[in-house]
Amino acid sequence: MTFRTDRIAMNSWTGTRTALVACCGVLLAGCAGTPLRGTGDLGLVVERAAGRVQLVSTTERAALGRIAGLGDLSHASVVYSRDGRYAFVFGRDGGLTKVDLLTQRIARRVVQAGNSVGGAISQDGKLVAVANYVPGGVKVFSADTLELLADIPATYGEGRRAKVVGLEDAPGNRFVFSLFEAGEIWLADLREPRQPKIDRFRDIGREPYDALVTPDGRYYLAGLFGEDGLALLDLWYPERGVRRVLTGYGKGEQKLPVYKMPHLEGWAIAGRFAFVPAIGRHEVLVVDTETWREAGRIAVAGQPVFVMARPDGRQVWVNFALPVNDVVQVIDTESRRIVRSLRPGRAVLHMEFTPRGEAVWISARDDHRIVVYNTANFERVAEIAAESPSGIFFTARAARTGL
C-alpha cells in the first residue's frame, strides 16, 4: 500500500514537472520572439513618403525597427494606449492603424473615411476618435477592436458638412473639435459611446484651423485663420459659451502670405504664460493664461509653425515655414530672448522632447534624418537615418491630456 502511494506521488510529480518544463518552453519561445521590455522610452517617427513608421528608443537614441503598410502618411499623427504598448496612427487617406510596439506589427487597421487629419484617445483609454475632412465629421471607435461605435457628421447650414479640425480629448470622456467652414466648436460627451451628446457653439470666429486643450484639461482654444484671435471654451463651465481672446492682435498690419499653417497642439506653456505662433507674422505671441490677454511679442526668424516648451518650461523651441524651414530658434522664457539659433537640416517639420526634457528630437525631412540635441548645451548628440521623416511621437504622450 505504501509502495503504491509512493508510485502515485512519483507519477504525479513527473507529470507536474513535464507540464512545468513545457510551460517554461512556451514562455521562453515567446520571450525569444518578443523580448520583454517597457515601452516608456519608445516612440514612433513617421516616414511620410514610405507609408511606414520607425520605432525608436530615447534611451538608446537609436532606431529599433520599421512597421510598413500604413497608407498615406503625408499628414499623420499618433496617440497611444494607456499602457504605451499600442499606437493609433491617423493617416491622410482615412486609415486608422493600431500598431503593436512590442511585436512591431500592425494589430488592426480600418480605412474609415476619405481624408482624415488626426485624432484623440479618451480619458479612460477605451475610445479612439478620428477627425475627418471627407466626409466632414468625427468617427469614434473601440480602442480594443476598432469597432465603429459612433458616427458624428459635422453638418451645418442646409445639410452641408464641414471639415473637422482641432479634435482633442477632454476630461470626462469627452472630445472637443472645430468645424472649419462653419465657424463652430462642438463638445461631444461619449460617456455612452453609442449615444453621444453634442453641445454646439456657433459663431465662434472665422475658419478655426487648429486647436489645443491646455495641459490641465480645462481650456480648449481654437486658432482662427480667417481673423486675428483665438476662440476660448472653458470646459469646466461650457454653459458660459465661447469667448474671443487676442482679438485684433495684428490690427493695422499687413499679413504676409501663409506658407504653412501653424500648429497649436503641443504649444508652449511656461508658468502662467503661453507662447503661441502668430499667423502670417514673424512673431511668437506671449499670453497671460490668467487673463487671456497679450503679455508680449517675440520677433523670430520667420513664420512659426510649432512653438513647443521644454517640459520644465524654461525654454521654448520654434520651427518655421518656408523660406527659413531649416532653422530652429530657442527662446529663454524668463528673459523672452532668443538664446540660440540652430540649423538641424532642410525642411524641419516636427520636434519632440524626451519625457524629462534633457533632449529634443527634430525631423529634417529633406535630409532624411532625425537630429537629437542636448537641451542644456545645444550640442548634437545623435543622428538617425529616416526616410522623409515628419512627425515624432513618444509614448510619454499616453499620460497627457490633449495630445
Which residue has 526668424 as its cell numbers?
Answer: 301
CB count in 10 Å sphere of residue 5: 9
Region label for 368, one of left (φ > 0), alpha (ψ between -120 and 50) or beta (otherwise)? left
221 lies in a domain?
Answer: yes
141 lies in a domain?
Answer: yes
Largest CA distance in the chain: 105
Q: Which domain holds residue 230?
A: 112-258
Q: By the 8 A CB rule, do 138 and 164 touch?
A: yes
DSSP structural state of residue 25: H
- Threshold 0.95, pTM exceeds: no
First CA to last CA across the chain, in angstroms? 71
Q: What is the pLDDT at residue 228?
A: 80
Burial 35-55 (b: 16+ CB within 10 A, else e): eeeebebbbbbbbbebbbbbb
138 lies in a domain?
Answer: yes
pLDDT in tens, the chain (403 residues): 444 444 444 444 445 454 444 444 444 444 445 668 999 999 999 999 999 999 999 999 999 999 999 999 998 999 999 999 999 999 999 999 999 999 999 999 999 999 998 999 999 999 999 999 999 999 999 999 999 999 999 999 999 999 999 999 999 999 999 999 999 999 999 999 999 999 999 999 999 988 999 888 999 999 888 888 889 999 999 999 999 998 876 543 555 555 566 777 666 888 889 998 888 789 999 999 999 999 999 999 999 999 999 999 999 999 999 999 999 999 999 999 999 999 999 999 999 999 999 999 999 999 999 999 999 999 999 999 999 999 999 999 999 888 7
CA dihedral 231, 234, 238, 244 (to 10 degrees): -20
When divided into structural domains, the chain yields a total of 1
Q: What are phi and psi of 394, to 5 degrees?
A: -95, 155
Q: What is the pLDDT at residue 45?
A: 98
**Among 255, 242, 239, 175, residue whose Cα is nearest residue 208:** 242
245 lies in a domain?
Answer: yes
Which residue has 537615418 as its cell numbers?
Answer: 385
Report in angstroms the alpha-carbon separations of 268 from 213, 263, 286, 292, 326: 12, 11, 10, 14, 21
Q: What is the pLDDT at residue 271?
A: 80
| AA letter at 365 | R
136 lies in a domain?
Answer: yes
88 lies in a domain?
Answer: no
All three cell numbers of 332, joined, read 529663454
165 lies in a domain?
Answer: yes
Considering Cα of 273, then 275, then 279, then 282, what sign does the dihedral take? positive
Q: By the 8 A CB rule, do 310 and 340 touch?
A: no
383 lies in a domain?
Answer: no
Domain harbouring 187, CATH code: 2.130.10.10
**Among 385, 396, 399, residue whose Cα is nearest residue 45:** 385
Q: What is the pLDDT at residue 240?
A: 97
Report in angstroms the alpha-carbon separations of 112 from 91, 141, 150, 164: 10, 10, 12, 14
Report in angstroms the alpha-carbon separations of 35 from 29, 107, 121: 10, 17, 27
